Structure 1
Amino acid sequence: MPWSPLPLNLGGSIMLTDTAYDQLVMDAQTACSANKCFLGGKAYNLAWMTRHQYQVPPWIVLTTASFEQQLAYCQLTDKVRTLDQLSPAEQRKQCAYLCQQLSASNLAPHLAAKLKHALAELPKGRLAVRSSAADEDSTTLSFAGQLDSYICLEGYPDIAQAVIKVMASGFGERAVRYRQQHQRALSQTTLAVIVQTMVEGECSGVFFTAHPINGSRKHGLISACYGLAEGVVAGTADCDEFTVDLFSEEVKPQIHQKQFQIVYAENSGQGTERLPVAEALQTKPCLSSQQIQRIKQQGFQIARQLGRPQDLEWTFVNDQLYWLQTRPITSLPAPENPIGQRQVWDNSNIQESYCGITLPLTFTFALRAYHTVYQQTFQLLGVSKRKLQALQPALSHMLGLIQGRVYYNINHWYAALQILPGFKTNKSDMERMMGLQDPVDFIEGQPDNWRQRLVRLPDSLHALSRLCWGFMTMDRRVRSFESHFESIYQQVNRAQLHTQSIAELMAQAEWLQRQLLDNWQTPIINDFMVMMTNGRLHRQLQALGIDNAEALQNNLLAGETLASTEPTKHLMKLCDYIRNKPGLARLLSGLANDEVMPAIQYRYPEFYQRCQNYIEAFGDRCMGELKLESTTLRQDPRFLVALLKNYIAHPNLSLSTLGKTERDLRTQAEATVRQQLMLLPLGKYRCHYHRIWKLLKLWRKAVKNRESMRLARTRAIGLIRDIYREVGQQLAFYGVLAEPEDIFYLTVTELEQYMQGTAVQTEWQSLVSTRKAEYSQYQQQDLPHHFQTIGPVYLHNAFKPAATSDCLSTHNNEATSEAQPLNGIGCYPGEVTAPIKKIFSPDDDLDLQGHILCTVRTDPGWAPLFPTAAGILVERGSTLSHSAVVARELGIPAIVNIPGLTQQLETGQWVTMNGTTGSIQLQENPQATKQTDAELSPTSQDTKQRDSKAKDVLEEMSA
């Protein structure tokens, strides 16, 4: 069959020219200056070692032009070109045909003549024939074991046949599946073939210049066996292993009994055979110390020159080291002993503000806000520019985003806290306020050398004095803050946002951030006040010898009128109005949640206006209220309707009964403190009495101010949320985004760069689609509240807790009396036995009648749900978290900070919770013998009654 040249580039390798025909077969010297597209990966690496004068056995290469010539000779070129147009199954069938046709062919005559000539130039002896695909032994693909190789061959006929088989293996089943798995175009399949002189190695093996077992890049692993390297590569011979330190002469050997070796088959004249190792050598190292160092030094030098870890094959002949091949290491395990900064992450507290998955726009906005606010706070405290500059890495990264969840970077919080004197005390107080279950022990304060303390003393005292002045003037500061906030807030007209252009909206968002965030020092100073007074009061109560001082301290806070409970009280007023309007009550109970507001707007306009007033005042208070992507009552009032229905179902729930229990509890707690003080001598009594009551007053005021200013924060975020939503509306209108909500998958910086002309990507729809897919995967995962990372946060870190907390071990509803209780922090006393109901979002069933609320975390937006709950169980949080504070004011037994709560319990399980001790014990369902799942949910009769009510309501409206 006559050969004809290929008219075009097959598979993107080379264009055949007259010069290419002269280079069908290259010797090592010629290959040293050849392009990789001629040589393929393996031959190119051999050429590199030859060029750099490493000892390599003589070799030649049939270039990729030879492969293309052979395809053309077999008239298979067109079938290769059309491979990518076929389905995967059709591709495999076509490749099987190509493999079969190539295997059955002879070398093209011109190619055969070139090969015979080149073989005559090689030393006499056995030869190896190996593949060298264009992408083989690359930085991303190794093709290890996917293509055929043949060793210990002699004579042209065997060599030619092996060359054909190696070429055919490019379309073999293993290689095809490998390419498909790595999404490589099959039409670009092209390879070269190496023919190399084989040396009769006495000891051979491989050298990884990065350790393939422990992932260390500072150590290598030498695997060695007697005989040919085939014994190591194929795994047919026992090996010694030597872990070598790349930067010293340290070697850790693992010597094994080497019973067999792979050697040339002397009797048959070709191939290899497996023979026993001499008994005297079996347990001795097959490499000397000098040989180990030579392999390490030369191999490491190759890796340094190539700039990446290498997988090298070597052999010793008469103590001469030969290098048979090198290729980049394409994969390594995570290092057993990773190198890098150890960082601690915790979201016990911040998950109240940014619950669950948080999208990029919210996170980047929050990250910038934290940096701005805390930098200004430290400026207010008189921190010098030099120290503030040194603090920038910490202030810029106080938060982290791990698989879509927001975490505190505890290292950076402690770095900032070291500005103040008394680091150990402040550290303990902050951990208590944040609810850290696992205090960080390796982060220490400044050195205790007295000279260093003396140098730091002026700055520390200056900061402390400024902080104390902030505490003393807090009342005035809070009034000024609230006045300034209200004046800025009133300048934004929500109803007219749609009339503004994107440029105007972005400018308004920037103005709001500048006006509000640049004046946010008062809330931060107050947070320091909460932290310090809370810690000092706790220590004072412990010093008095009070049992369960933490629970008593919680009760001392009961009875405060907090902004976080104002929405609940307004809801109760709305319920009082409903109870006096029987028709309105019937309408509310008879319609679905999404039907109620349109109905009352028409039928009860006065009540509808009251609802609108509520939404205007508290419409930004929702679950996940600090997340820009959260849906508030302004966008969807169904949550308000669900709450009203819940309240109406509890006739005893009213403003008059709301605070009586908590006031009694507060009085009792104060009496306990007085009784304990009476046990002290008169002098100490007076001292401790005034100290405790002064602290208690400051603490209560600080907590009250905190809740008030957090409502301002929620309202500010609400404004910015609406502005960004309108930007999203317009970007979707003009086709930049697929839908308005896609804006939340962008970052603040990306939006600003889009305005400024510095964006590196402006095709946002594909970017958003990628991020949506990524964050959707995060929804399916669960992360611990506390873990550590080392080095690059997102690389080789599993985000697992250092130790698993003891927790209840049960299977769903299989509770037994012997089960150990879950434990948390009791926030409000009372023992409740009831079924739990897990609620995570406003879309869940919110009817809590007779149930204990069970959730991961809460924020102030959850407060309106609390009055209808028999008790409250929260997986995350601290004694000063919103759920704890609000539960105390409402007088509802509550426990927070319960590890594994939502994983251990399921909706419908009965538990006994003790709000004093913080224990939760599973119980048998008291109605288990009679009650079925159907009885726990609305029956068909209930549904019929509801439908009948809806019909009556609609008829009444029509009338």
Structure 2
Amino acid sequence: MDSMTDLYSQHQAVQLTQDQLGGKAANLLWLSLEQYPVPEWWVVPSDTLTQIVTQDPVIADMVQRLTTVTADITLEDLDKLAAPLRQQIQQASLPEDLRKQLSLLLADYPDTFFSVRSSAIGEDADNASFAGQMDSYLFQQGLDAISASVCAVMASAFNTRALQYRLHRGLSVENIRCAVIIQKMVDGEVSGVMFTAHPVTGSRQHGLISAAWGVGEGVVSGECDTDEFSVHLFNDEIERRIVEKRVALVFDKTNQRGTVAQDIDQANQWAETLTDAQIYALRNIGNRIARHCGCPQDIEWTIKDQQLYILQTRPITRLPKVASPVDRNLVFNNANIQESYCGVTTPLTFSFASATYATVYEQTMRILGCSDKQVSQSQDMLDNMLGLIKGRVYYNINNWYRGLLMLPSFKTNKQDMERMMGLTDQVDFIQSREFTLWEKAAKLPGMAKALVRLLAAFRNMDKNVEQFLQQFSSLTANIPRDRLHTLTANQLTEQLKYLDTHLLQRWTTPILNDFYVMMYNGRVYRTLEAAGVEKTAALMGDLLSGEEDIESTQPTKELLVMCQYVRSKPELRKLIEQGQGTTLLNQLKTRDVHFHQQCINYIDKYGDRTIGEMKLETLTLRYDSRFLFTILKNYLTLDDLTPESLAARERGLRTEAENRAFSAVEQKLGNRRMRSFKRHLSKLRQAIRHRENMRFTRTRMIGLYRDLFNQLGRQYALEGILSQARDIFYLTLNEIYSGYEGTAVQTQLKPLVESRRQEYASYEAEDLAHHFYCQGSLFQQHDFAYPHQVEETSSDINQLHGIGCYPGIVETTVRLIKSPEDKMSLSGQILCTERTDPGWAPLFPTAGGLLIERGSTLSHSAVVAREMGIPAIVGIPNITRLLRNGEYVRMDGGAGTVMRLEQVEKDACAEEERRPEDALL
């Protein structure tokens, strides 16, 4: 059989190439060679269609026109091109040699019916099945009928739906090649499809069998209702879904060719199509096929006279994520970290933050006495303390708990950490394991060493903080901040690595102080609970208010001093109130040199402290001074807002709270516990003061990194490596360093940046939960939904609840601020936002109160609100989605409640309408 137009039997088909066989015939060949029960078959190689297309000039011209279409062509326009082409191919004559081969074949099987099916190149492949896209012809007999069917099948390679499928999958419509399978027809009593992985649940341990009476075309086309059997691949578990089956697709005896829908007799309509033995036989043969192929399979089968036949197999091209995996469950929460990394965060910021956490906590482990082996075993935990979900930064709670397991008293530390991080959702599947006596003895030396070192660090905390601050000032003085533009790209990268080595690798004091805050906050809280104090969280807030010398409030106080100067200068005040923020700084050079210098001094000292200050891509006051003048305009609207009035507010209810707490502890727990409580409270206050002050050094450090990255971006833009300087924020830290070290796997950065820019822009419109579980890889399908959703998502909710941080009842309108671009004038309105960071602090004095959707009693917004004596509530679920801008509410900072007064009034009116008889009284 040397001719390219010969008919090949299943035994001869091994001579053909993959391109000659097409996908379906290649799979049939493999099944036959592996001795699976496949009905005998023959194949017309794809060269036949190629010959017809190339030798007929009319057909060749039609095909050429098809190659110009694009994926956005309409179905109607595509059909106008494809329909005449199909008609020409159907009317074409088969090559004479092929007709002779068919005639010889049919002479050997005079009374046999055949099926005629397509086998296009790429059909039934791993990435494209073409299932149902091309035509099949069943129960064909005789030379003329089969010849016509062969032409019709080849023509169906140009079906409109098949062409559209190709275009949408990015497959070429040029040089379409299609072989044709001729196979002995099995007049199946029951037929169907088996998936060796479950197409609905995604389970790789379950198969799904769909079965109907008659031949399988009724299942594939959807014409016949099917029973479904979900069968476990490795045990005898079967789940059934039996339906009423009214019709079957069977041989059309009237026309003696093709199929017809036939009514099923009453007795079989609800009868199960398969017995358990047949289900297991299908399951077993499907398992074998999938195991040989190395991937889940979509298998067509039929049963005749108790004999199972495999008609074809193809790889499953799409499966959902497993619905309920049990092997892995990650917990992500951003209740606290969102203060630092609000909204969508760029790849550079996340990769920098993740590397920073790994570096700092590795140092902490070493300080606590962990060996090199312990650090090495914990490296995956250290490298993954944060997660990035659709551009948002989250804590990977699993790894934080793993870290706590290294310390004594996991259960207590777990509760303390959850309280400090604002974790209102308990994670119960991570527990402190009960160790055997031998295991306890083995762990005891390490635990004891960690405890001793931790206590030593706590004992020397004041001294360590002072040394840390001095060291920070000394090291950062070595960065030539005003001369960065004169450095080369290599020199800028070396400056980055200098900061990595000399700052990040010496950042243990802030982390140890965080442990200090966590533990003493837990001790104070538990003592208040033991004393039976009501509204413990609110009283905690009062006790922690009124601290002096906290760096978080210093920018606000300095701005108030500047504001006093502006009030004394009417012309300057008018300029600030009416001027444009983008030009004010330059105008001040000629209008008021003294105040211009005050602004320059403020920017030099606090220029890195702004909304979103932890994000490297943020434009701080050093790059855009508008926020400075926005705050000054706010302050000027309140003439009684002065440094003195702020100081008076800061004193607040601290003394009253102390009297209440000390009295309760002493009466319920005794004088000794009261003295211990006072000592713990004092240590907690000092630790919080240290934390806020060291946070400002963190802000300044990020500012230095930001300047270096901006300058490096400028260098890359000048050289054409990036399109613009700020594109650098779409690279990761490792990508930047790998270019310097000579290990970069991609050096064409512009297309990489552009794809990421588009991806991250798409995340802006998405709204993710603050807490969710994630099973499997982030590349898989997830809804990132809050697993403990409550009913407080309805816009009809009248009262909202959160954590009261500072008492006071405020009744006024809400100013909803979701981003720095929103209008920020408050003038006594209640500031409502999703999250805050230290850069928000200057806004607070002009707010009548604070309503923050995320956060805890120790989050920045709570700390600063207490220092300024501003009624505040944090941790109010969904408040930014429930309240409208300008809505009138009453907030109670002590009780942690928000009453929607407009909503209450509306509900009352609705109630009156529902009860007209009451209205008449």
Pair in the same fold by TM > 0.5: yes
Q: Do the aligned partners of residues 734 and 91 (structure 1) sit closer, same or farther apart at CA in structure 2, a change above 3 Å counting?
A: farther
Superposition deviation, residue 121 in structure 1: 5.4
Counterpart in the other structure of 1:84: 67
- The CA distance in 2 between the partners of 1:599 and 1:606, in whole Å, is 12
Letter aligned with residue 608 of structure 1: H
Matched, 1:383 2:370: yes
Matching of residue 694 in structure 1 with residue 672 in structure 2: no
The question of whether the paired residues in 2 share the 8 Å contact of 1:447 and 1:453 is answered with no
Q: Pairwise mapping of residues 868-947 of structure 1 onto structure 2 (< 5 A)? A: 868-924=846-902
Deviation at 1:136, TM superposition (A): 1.3
Distance 1:302 1:927 in 2: 68
Report what 1:619 is aligned to.
Answer: 607
In structure 2, stretches of 5+ residues that fail to align are 907-921
2:226 alignment partner AA: C
Aligned partner of 1:656 among 641, 644, 649: 644
Give SS of 2:174's match. Answer: helix
Cα distance in structure 1, aligned partners of 2:78 and 2:712: 48
Aligned residue among 748, 751, 771 for 2:736: 751
Query: Is 1:782 the counterpart of 2:767 in the alignment?
Result: yes
Name 1:705's counterpart in structure 2: 690
Residue of structure 2 equivalent to 1:300 = 287
Q: CA deviation at 1:841?
A: 2.7
1:144 and 2:124 correspond = no
Distance in 2, Cα, partners of 1:927 & 1:418: 52
Where does 1:33-48 land on structure 2 (aligned, <5 Å)? Answer: 33-48=15-30
Letter in 2 for 1:42: K
1:505 pairs, out of 482, 492, 513, with 492
TM-score by length of 1: 0.91
Distance 1:736 1:532 in 2: 49
Q: Which amino acid in 2 is paired with 1:685?
A: G
Q: How far apart are residue 274 of structure 1 and its match?
A: 3.2
Partner of 1:820: 798
Matched, 1:798 2:787: no
What amino acid does structure 1 have at the position aligned with 2:16? Answer: A
1:181 is aligned to 168
Give the partner amino acid of 1:635: Y
How big is each residue's C-alpha offset from its partner over 1:359-404, in whole Å with a ceiling of 9 and x where there is no partner?
1001011111101100110100112333323222211100000010
Equivalent residue of 2:312, what SS? strand
Change (3 A) 1:925 1:851: farther
Superposition pairs for residues 270-419 of structure 1, below 5 Å? 270-277=257-264, 279-419=266-406
Is the Cα contact below 8 Å between 1:32 and 1:51 reproduced in 2? Answer: no
Distance 1:139 1:356, change over 3 A: same
SS of aligned partner of 2:112? coil
The CA distance in 2 between the partners of 1:718 and 1:504, in whole Å, is 18
Matched letter for residue 892 of structure 2 = N
2:431 paired with 1:444 = yes
Matches within 5 A, 1:405-554: 405-554=392-541
Q: Could you tell me which residue of structure 2 aligns to residue 860 of structure 1?
A: 838
Structure 1 residue matching 2:116: 3-state secondary structure: strand
State whether residues 804 and 893 of structure 2, in contact with CA within 8 Å, keep that contact through their aligned partners in structure 1: yes
1:122 to partner: Cα distance: 5.5
Give yes or no for the alignment of 1:741 onto 2:719.
no
Change (3 A) 1:711 1:833: same
Alpha-carbon deviation of 1:300?
1.1
Match of 2:917 in 1: none
Letter in 1 for 2:377: A
TM-score of the aligned structures, taking structure 2 as reference length: 0.95
Deviation at 1:595, TM superposition (A): 1.8
**What are the Cα deviations for residues 483-537 of structure 1, in whole angstroms up to 9, with x where unaligned?**
1100011111111101111011001101111101111110011000000110100
Determine the C-alpha separation between the residues in 1 that align with 2:288 and 2:703. 60
Q: Which moved more, 1:917-926 or 1:154-163?
A: 917-926
Q: Is the 8 A contact 1:808 1:822 kept in 2?
A: no
Q: How far apart are 1:266 and its partner, in Å? A: 2.7
CA distance in 1, matches of 2:754, 2:108: 59
Q: Structure 1 pair 281/678, CA: closer, same or farther in 2 (3 Å)?
A: closer
Change in CA separation of 1:540 and 1:40 when aligned onto 2, cut-off 3 Å: same
Matched, 1:602 2:585: no
1:54 and 1:123 map into 2 onto residues whose CA distance is 26
User: Per-residue CA shift, 1:299-339, capped at 9, x if unaligned?
Assistant: 21111111111111112233322111111111223323224
Does the CA contact (< 8 Å) of 1:371 and 1:398 recur in 2?
Answer: yes
Displacement after TM superposition at 1:292 (Å) = 2.4
How big is the alpha-carbon RMSD for the aligned residues of Structure 1 and Structure 2? 2.0
Displacement after TM superposition at 1:453 (Å) = 2.7
CA displacement at 1:691 relative to structure 2 = 0.5
The equivalent of 2:149 in structure 1 is: 162
Letter in 2 for 1:917: A
CA distance in 1: counterparts of 2:265 and 2:81, whole angstroms: 50
Q: Which string of whole-angstrom CA distances, capped at 9 and with x for unpartnered residues, describes residues 72-125 of structure 1?
A: 243222432343324535654322331232233333445434443454456741
Partners of 1:462 and 1:578 lie apart in 2 by 57
Aligned to 1:575: 563
- Structure 2 match to 1:28: 10
8 Å Cα contact 1:529-1:702 kept in structure 2: yes
CA distance in 2, matches of 1:174, 1:224: 26
- The 2-side partners of 1:186 and 1:539 are apart by 72
Which amino acid letter does the alignment assign opposite residue 352 of structure 1?
E
- 1:22 alignment partner, SS class: coil
- Aligned match for 1:104, one of 86, 91, 94: 91
Which letter does structure 2 place at the counterpart of 1:363? F
The code of the aligned residue for 1:895 comes to I
Distance 1:108 1:677, change over 3 A: closer
Q: Does 172-181 or 189-198 show the bigger shift? A: 172-181
2:545 to 530, 542, 558: 558
Q: Distance in 2 between matches of 1:393 and 1:192?
A: 51
Give, as a single letter, the amino acid of the residue that structure 2 aligns with 1:802.
P
1:94 to 62, 66, 81: 81
Structure 1 unmatched runs, 5+: 1-17, 812-818, 929-959
The answer on whether the counterparts of 2:496 and 2:708 sit within 8 Å (CA) in structure 1 is yes
* Cα shift at 1:914: 0.8
CA contact (8 A) 2:86 2:156 kept: yes
Instruction: Report if the CA contact (8 A) 2:6-2:44 is conserved.
Output: yes
Counterparts of 1:675 and 1:281, CA distance in 2 = 82
Change (3 A) 1:98 1:550: same
Residue 147 of structure 1, CA deviation: 1.0
Question: Per the alignment, in what secondary structure is the counterpart of residue 594 of structure 1?
Answer: helix
Change in CA separation of 1:310 and 1:678 when aligned onto 2, cut-off 3 Å = closer
Separation in 2 of the partners of 1:171 and 1:277?
Answer: 36
**Deviation of residue 151 (structure 1)?**
0.5
Name the CA shift for 1:859/1:487 in 2 (closer, same or farther; >3 Å). Answer: same
The answer as to 2:755 corresponding to 1:770 is yes
Distance of aligned partners of 1:286 and 1:232 in 2 relative to their CA distance in 1, 3 Å threshold? same
Question: What is the DSSP-based 3-state SS (H/G/I as helix, E as strand, rest coil) of the residue aligned with 2:416?
Answer: helix
Partner residue in 2 for 1:634 = 622
Matching residue's letter, 2:575: L
- Counterpart amino acid of residue 387 in structure 1: Q
CA distance in 2 between counterparts of 1:255 and 1:586 reads: 81
* Aligned equivalent of 2:207, options 197, 207, 220: 220
Identity %: 44
The residue matched to 1:29 in structure 2 has which SS? coil
Correspondence for 2:816: 838
**Could you tell me whether the CA contact under 8 Å between 2:815 and 2:885 is conserved in 1?**
yes
Deviations 1:266-325 (A, max 9, x none): 343212233344555554433333332222212211111111111111122333221111
Cα separation, 1, equivalents of 2:180 and 2:351: 53
Q: Quick one: distance in 2 between partners of 1:582 and 1:63?
A: 92
Deviation at 1:675, TM superposition (A): 3.0
Equivalent-residue separation in structure 2 for 1:451 and 1:820 (angstroms): 57
| Further displaced range: 711-720 or 253-262 | 253-262
